[in-house]
Amino acid sequence: MAMEDKRSDPILAALTAPMSMKPRQAVMRRHEAMLGELRFLSERESPDENLSFIRRHKWSDERLSALFALNSVYQEVLGPLHASTRVGAAGLGTEYPIRHGSQRFDASHNVRVQNAIDDFYAIVERLGFLKEWMTRNTCGDLVYYIARFERDSDSNQ
């Protein structure tokens, strides 16, 4: 049975604590939606084959919830910031700084964001997750790619 929404994921709580209200709410809504999709995949008449497979490979609801928390933070906060650091041919945002509201996009911004991304990916890898999983959009996508990873790991042993 999938994890209840009311239980707080400690990774989600730690990652969202320093956030302002709007991004925190967006991350939490996304995490809740992924938990809801996990429940759906678990409880439907014929359970998802990939979900059944990864559960046999020690993927608990708690471990999936931690992955969903990281994925949600990346999708809602870090991914868009990371995209803002991409340097174009015209040098916009590096050679020619851009101001948007109170935010300044320049070389200094790019360094700060890249350091945050590097730190985030270190956490992801330390927890045994793949960086590529942060760019997956839904619980179903993640379950599919986890199953593919586990099957590849099984065939390499």
**pTM over the 0.75 mark:** yes
Is pLDDT above 80 for 121?
yes
- Assign 38 to helix, strand or coil: helix
Residue 96 domain-assigned (yes or no): no
Residue 48 domain-assigned (yes or no): yes
- For 28-67, write each residue's pLDDT tens digit: 999 999 999 999 999 988 878 999 999 999 999 999 999 9
Residue 75 domain-assigned (yes or no): yes
Residue 4 domain-assigned (yes or no): no
Residue 143 domain-assigned (yes or no): yes
Residue 132 domain-assigned (yes or no): yes
pLDDT at 107: 84
pLDDT at 102: 84
Specify the residue for token string 């709410």: 25
The whole-number average pLDDT for the span 112-118 is 94
Residue 19: HSE in the Cβ half-sphere, 13 Å Cα cutoff = 18
The whole-number average pLDDT for the span 71-87 is 91
Residue 108 domain-assigned (yes or no): no
pLDDT at 90: 62
pLDDT band (50, 70, 90) for residue 91? low
Which of 46-60, 92-106, 142-156 has the least mean pLDDT? 92-106
Domain count, the chain: 1
Cα separation, 79 vs 71, whole angstroms: 10
Residue 122: HSE in the Cβ half-sphere, 13 Å Cα cutoff = 6
Q: Are the C-beta atoms of 108 and 118 separated by less than 8 Å?
A: no
Residue 2 domain-assigned (yes or no): no
Range of the domain at 30: 10-85+120-155
pLDDT at 132: 97
- Assign 5 to helix, strand or coil: coil
Is pLDDT above 50 for 2?
no
